Amino acid sequence: MTKMMAGNQPALSLNVANGAKVKDVIAAIEAGYPHIGELIHKKKVLVSVNQEIAHEDTIVHASDEVALLPPFAGGAGHPESREGDHA
């Protein structure tokens, strides 16, 4: 879904400073792809850093792997908000 919105690109190239926060990455995405930015703000699309769900203040380093994750097949919502859901 996000891939299609970004013109079918599997990866995006964005300019953000080393040590920037996820919110800076989101701002850079928003500038080029406003629809994706909107979905991130609505938490329809989550941001992960190094394969863990990230927060706006998560720091991003040069070698980090950042990904945009549309809603999972199981209806993930926001995993971080499910405290107390554990068996």
Partner 1 sequence: MNSAAAGSDDLFVRVQRENFSLDQELDRVRSRSTRIGGIATFLGVARDRSRGRDVDRITFEHYEGMAQKKLREIRERALQDFDILELLIIHRYGEISIGENIVLIIAGAEHRAEAFRACQWAIDELKQITPIWKLERTPDGEVWVEEHP
Q: Most distant CA pair in the chain: distance in Å? A: 42
From the list 19-27, 35-43, 56-64, 70-78, the region that binds partner 1 by CB under 8 A is: 70-78
Q: Residue 11 interacts with partner 1 (CB under 8 A)?
A: no
Q: Which is nearer to partner 1, 15 or 52 (CB)?
A: 52
Q: Residue 76 interacts with partner 1 (CB under 8 A)?
A: yes
Site for partner 1 in 29-68 (CB under 8 A): 48, 51, 67
Question: How many other CB atoms are there within 10 angstroms of residue 60's CB atom?
Answer: 22
DSSP for 19-45 reads TEEHHHHHHHHHHH-HHHHHHHHTTSS
